[in-house]
Structure 1
Amino acid sequence: MQALSLAVLAFLLYLAAASWQGLTLTRRVAPRPMLVRGLAALGLLCHLPLVAGLFGHDAQVLPGLYASMVMLGAMAVAVLLVASLFKPVLGAAVGVLPLAGLALLLAAMAPAPLPSEALPPGVALHAVSSLLAFAVLAIAAVQAVLLGLQNRALRQHQVRGLVQALPPLTTMERLLFELIWTGMALLTLAILSGFVFLDNMFAQHLAHKTILSLAAWVIFATLLFSHHRLGWRGMRAVRWTLGGCAVLLLAYFGSRFVLDVLLGRG
């Protein structure tokens, strides 16, 4: 019951922060980045006890669906808050915060996970780098959606509302590729550490995750190479970013949803 109460409170705080940021993007309220960060940080403080509770009894090589959702949500919010202190990425809060809160609510209402052994250091490196990579690239996906909306508005000669609230188009594009470069570095570390520290990946039901993660890596690598050498940008960059994130989403959560929810083997 305490976990559910914390999850509800975190969800409400995340939703309040995302709502204010959404109203800011539509030019209905004045920008209040400190308010958005403060509400999100309070939500994260309610979120973290549920994350800490996982390490005592749910430190699996491939965490269950709900454990992954709790950890990934907290990681994405933390990365967004820290990044927003240095880069104008707070607009991504409109997508990241509600999804993190909703995932936390679903996880808090799910059955408690079964006990398991603690992760070895090498496997822990793989798990943490995987979660960080997904968190950064999830923020990149929201950034890509905002960039796409901004692109479309400018093509339709709509210079008010969202276009006025967001940073200039060139800044938005630069931020997107900075996020993708960071996510790619973390994804590369996750893939390499998986090959080094995980034994018998087929027995651990990790074959599909490895193949899809490599496919996502190829998509992002192609995008970065083509941006550098061929000048890919705009809606093409948006589509490739969202495609890579969709493949990565399947890699991280596809099989866990089938095993834990549809087949009840969590």
Structure 2
Amino acid sequence: MTTLLLNSLAAALYLLAGAYLAWTVRVGQEPRRQYLFAAVAVALLVHGLGVFSQVMVDNTVELGFFRVSSLLFWVINLIVLASSLRKPLHNLFIPLLPLSAVGVLASLLGQGAGHPIVLDYALASHVLLSILAYSLLTIATLQALLLAWQNHQLKHRHPTGRVRLLPPLQTMEALLFELLWAGHIALTLSILSGFVFLDDLFAQHLVHKTVFSLAAWVIYSVLLWGRHQLGWRGYTAIRWTLGGFVLLMLAYFGSKLVLELILDRY
């Protein structure tokens, strides 16, 4: 019952904060950051307590499909909130807050999925690095989508209205590549820790995750090389970012979806 109340309250708080942010965008005003950040911080506190009660099960860790989705949203929102204190990333809360509410509610509906596992220090480090990498690269993808919308508005000569609430295009691109670099480093460490700490990354139940993760790593590596050597920017950078994200999500959520929600039923 406590888990249900905490997660339901977290979803409600996310929706309220999202409604306030949507209203400011609708009327073309900058949100009062202290109010927005305070609301998100309270939602994160409640969400954190709720997701902890879901993930920790009798001294084991339950990383099922729906619960890990909720955990990822918690980490993503925490990173965006902390980063927004120094950088203009608070606009990412526009899609994040309603998606977070959906993720939290889905974790309640799908509580039966997944199998509790015991984490040692080695496996825990790999899991934490993976969650950090997925979170940072998800934020980079949201930033890329926002950048794509900004590019579209400016190219079609709509420099006023809602687009004026965003930072300059150069700042948006710089933020995108900062996030990509951070996510790529975390992804590299996650893959390396998997090879070091896991017995066989190409075992039958891990091969999909390994192949897609390596493919995503190659995509992000080429993108960062292209940025450094060829000055890639704009839609080229956006397309490569989205391509890497699709592969990364197939690596984790695709394999978990098949293993836990499809194969387990047969």
Report if TM-score (shorter chain) is over 0.5: yes
Greater Cα offset, 49-58 or 89-98:
49-58
- The 2-side partners of 1:180 and 1:18 are apart by 25
Give the aligned partner of residue 159 of structure 2: 159
Residues of 2 paired with 1:156 and 1:92: CA distance?
A: 23
Could you say what secondary structure the match of 2:264 adopts?
A: coil
Cα pair 2:113 2:261 within 8 Å, conserved: no
Deviation for aligned residue 1:200: 2.4
In the alignment, residue 9 of structure 1 is paired with which amino acid? L
Comparing 175-184 and 33-42, the one that deviates more: 33-42
1:72 corresponds in structure 2 to 72
Aligned-residue CA RMSD in angstroms?
A: 2.0
Letter of the 1:256 partner, please give it. K
Once structures 1 and 2 are overlaid, which stretch shifts more, 44-53 or 221-230? 44-53
Instruction: Report the TM-score, using the length of structure 1 for normalisation.
Output: 0.92
The residue that corresponds to 1:169 in the other structure is 169
Match of 1:55?
Answer: 56
The one-letter code of the counterpart of 1:50 is: G
Q: For 2:181, give the aligned amino acid.
A: W
Cα displacement (A) at 1:26: 4.3
SS of equivalent residue, structure 1 residue 31:
coil
* TM-score (norm: length of structure 2): 0.92
**Residues 139 and 108 of structure 1: CA distance in aligned 2, closer, same or farther (over 3 Å):** same
What is the CA-CA distance between 1:193 and the residue it aligns to? 0.3
The aligned residue for residue 84 of structure 1 is 84
Distance in 1 of aligned mates of 2:123 and 2:248: 19
Distance 1:115 1:158, change over 3 A: closer
Contact 1:4 1:105 in 2 (8 A): no
Q: Which runs of 5+ in 2 are unaligned?
A: none
Query: Which residue in 2 is equivalent to 1:100?
Result: 100
Contact 2:151–2:234 (8 Å) recurs in 1 = yes
> Which stretch of the first structure deviates more once superposed, 6-15 or 151-160?
6-15
Contact 2:7 2:47 in 1 (8 A): yes
Aligned: 1:45 with 2:49 = no
Q: Which runs of 5+ in 1 are unaligned?
A: none
What percentage of residue pairs aligned between the two structures are identical? 43
Change (3 A) 1:241 1:115: closer
Q: Paired residues, what number?
A: 264
